[in-house]
Amino acid sequence: MSRPAFDPATYDAQLAEKKARLVELLAPFAAPEPQVFDSPREHYRLRAEFRLWREDGQRHYAMFAPGDKHTPILLDDFPIASLRVNELMPRLRAAWQASEVLSFKLFQVEFLTTLAGDALITLAYHRPLDDAWQAEAEKLASALNVSLVGRSRGQRLVIGRDYVAEELDVAGRSFHYRQPEGAFTQPNGRVCEKMLGWAYDALGERQDDLLELYCGNGNFTLPLATRVRKVLATEISKASVNAALANLADNGVDNVELVRLSAEELTQALNEVRPFRRLSGIDLKSYDFGSVFVDPPRAGMDPDTCELTRRFERILYISCNPETLAANIAQLHDTHKVTRCALFDQFPYTHHMEAGVLLERR
């Protein structure tokens, strides 16, 4: 059977091309040479999602090339995925092949694993899930030593936990994370550790406060909170907010206030455009913000939020889209200069890359 092509022998050349692209994008801003943080060449991806394809009377793991939903690439294993995913793939397939209850109308499988060895499998169906499915799924979860989530229209059945437990090391300290099923998490754990370490170092030890936008499950919040007096963090996803609150509590981090607001809403609040009930009890004027940390979606920061960041002495920016990063820097370049930058190869063998910059007031 075939699989998506990747060749570790080409890795260094691909990474050099990404670096050249980032240097070109940041050249108009006189950015320094980027630090480059590479990835493991294989078994680096902690998440994997497969459609199932029937052939010769059996269901197979399948992926599709972009734009082609009709020509499956059938898989026995997936070498870019974690060793845990690869260990689970044949065992799960054997289980559904042996059980009509598990296989009937099963159309998609998702794996979520961690560097710490935890695993969760999501099985998606085109049918209601009944007591017979629950009984079979409980036996499967026990046999594989995983948590398991069954999904169908209007149903979400959880066996075990609906999150995986991760442990990431930053500057000699281990941080513990709950990463929920269905919520965003960084797919490349080793590169994520490097991103956290770079951001921790770039922020430095501060005596003032940090504003964090788009905080997600608190991935960056936990280590960065140890560098400042206190943090005001925002996130709009309810699942991510709940995970972040649990992560703060699990790690004993008590200098963070987290509010469920979008970056645009917080901008309105700080500009006193309108009040928000979700900010009741939080005295915005008590903060002495010196730095802002942003990790926005691919579209980057909207113009108003970008203008908001101009108020801060330091803007620490992690980007999954260097093109929109460059556009945001162009808006800020008259007041802030790029003093550090980095390339994080979260997605080897693709054109995607993560970048980080520190902008400081001129």
User: Taking the alpha carbons of 340, 345, 350, 354 in that order, is the dihedral positive or negative?
Assistant: negative
Please provide the DSSP assignment of 239-299 as one string: HHHHHHHHHHHHTT--SEEEE---HHHHHHHHTTSS--GGGTT--GGG--EEEEEE---TT
Q: Which residues are known to be catalytic?
A: 320, 354
The DSSP 8-state label assigned to residue 129 in this structure reads -
Contact assessment for residue 263 and residue 300, using Cβ atoms and an 8 Å cutoff: no
Q: CB-based burial of residue 238 (10 Å sphere; 0-12 exposed, 13-18 middle, 19+ buried)? A: exposed
The whole-angstrom separation of Cα 170 and Cα 209 is 20
Please provide the DSSP assignment of 37-105 as one string: E---SSS-BSEEEEEEEEETTEEEEEEE-TT-SSSEEEES--TTB-HHHHHHHHHHHHHHHH-HHHHTT
Place of tokens 């209601």: 128
First to last CA, the chain: 57
The Cα angle at residue 169 between residues 87 and 347, in degrees rounded to 5 = 55
Contact assessment for residue 61 and residue 74, using Cβ atoms and an 8 Å cutoff: yes
Residue of 265, 334, 336 whose CA lies nearest to 304: 265
* Sheet of strand 106-113: strand arrangement: 72-75, 58-64, 47-55, 106-113, 119-125, 147-152, 155-159
The whole-angstrom separation of Cα 293 and Cα 210 is 7
Place of tokens 């980027």: 34
